[in-house]
Chains A and B, each alone.
Chain A
Amino acid sequence: MSAHGITSRAHPLWLAYILHRLSGLALALFLPLHFLLLGQALRGEAALDQSLAFSDMFLVKIAEFGLVFLLAVHMFGGLRLMAMEFLPWSPSQKTLAAGATATSFLIAVLFFMKAI
């Protein structure tokens, strides 16, 4: 360990910051894949269906869960930032509110995915 550097970053706000960054990055990396799949529609129904069959695989289902998670934390991480910077609430109130909404969003979307 360099005596010069900082090692103790593990406090909630910094973790929220890094989570926001990494989830944003991961979502950006996913986008081309998403468009590629949708783009299959241009090649006709059969091609799209063939690609969509891929999403029935178990591993892909697990990955979808990750995707919903990323979406949830990134979206509400962003709302948290805007609330923190633009609303005169106390910091702990905001963290609580954001945590609660993110969890409920995650649960809601999972149910929604099961339904369709």
Chain B
Amino acid sequence: MTSETLNVTIDRGAAGLQDYAVPAYDNQTVLDVVSWVQQNADPTLSYRFACRVGMCGSCAMMVNGVPRWTCRTHISKVLDGNAVTIGPLRNLPVIKDLAVDMDPFFDKWVAAEGVHHGAMTRDDPIASLGDDHPEQSGADFGRECINCSICYAACDTVAGNPNYLGPAALQRAWNLLNDAKDEGRMAILEAVSGTGGCHNCHSMGSCTTYCPNELDPMSAIAGLKRETAKSFFKRGR
């Protein structure tokens, strides 16, 4: 750390960019910096967090032009000299300051059929998958997703096409497509091959580059492209 004080610039929407001098500590995340501003400089600053340990996915923001989970990003990793610029997550409507409306993001999970399609009832015995389900590894593909919307913010295709389902929702659809316990194959393929579907993806790979959990939505989307293409040639749809 080059200085005792950090020059923190926060994008506060209509109120514009505002600068704050924040004392530097050895152990300090970007979220700590934002919290310091809210607690000591301006209590009206709005932002969102919950778990502070990278589990809940609520704290993502743009930090020096990169979408990041702020609770797990050490400030020294992102400082430019002793300055940092923090803004609300890209590609989502801003509610106030650093808090964005995540509704469009979650609505698209449902639109991509990212919901469980079960065939059994609570009265049926629990099916055991055992080790002989190689396709189940495909279902594990993006299990660690915390719905933080960083991939959604990183994606230029989302920025250019508001109807595009986006990397997280499509990765979820890919999981379920590979899940031996999910019966929604046709519904999923239908949902991900429409106008906002997987074929919008240009494989720019920003989702995979910036995913904080090192998941690979781009490859999941490539998988969906393969499966929808196969289904098209087999069934004509």
Contact = CB atoms under 8 A, between A and B. Distances in A.
Interface residues of A, number: 19
A7 B66 CA distance: 7
A18 to B, nearest CB: 8
Contacts of A5: 62, 65, 90
Interface in B175-208: 202-206, 208
A53 interface: no
B209 interface: yes
A43 B42 CA distance: 77
Interface residues of B, number: 30
Given A3-B85, A6-B66, A85 B225 contact: yes
B66 A11 contact: no
Given A14-B204, A17-B204, A6 B62 contact: yes
Contacts of A91: 205, 219
Contacts, number: 73
B222 interface: yes
Contact of B205 (A4, A11, A86): A11
Interface in A67-87: 81, 84-86
A12 B153 CA distance: 18
Interface string A3-43: 11111110111100100000000000000000000000000
Interface in B1-31: 9-11, 17
A57 interface: no
Contacts of A86: 222, 225-226, 229
A85 B86 contact: no
Nearest to A85: B222
A17 B11 contact: no
Given A1-B65, A1-B85, A85-B225, A6 B153 contact: yes
A93 interface: no
Interface of B: 9-11, 17, 62, 64-67, 85-88, 90, 153-154, 156, 202-206, 208-209, 218-219, 222, 225-226, 229
29 contacts: A1-B65, A1-B85, A2-B11, A2-B87, A3-B10, A3-B62, A3-B65, A4-B62, A5-B62, A6-B65, A6-B153, A6-B156, A6-B206, A7-B64, A8-B64, A8-B65, A9-B206, A11-B205, A11-B206, A11-B209, A13-B204, A14-B156, A14-B204, A14-B205, A17-B205, A84-B203, A85-B203, A86-B229, A91-B219
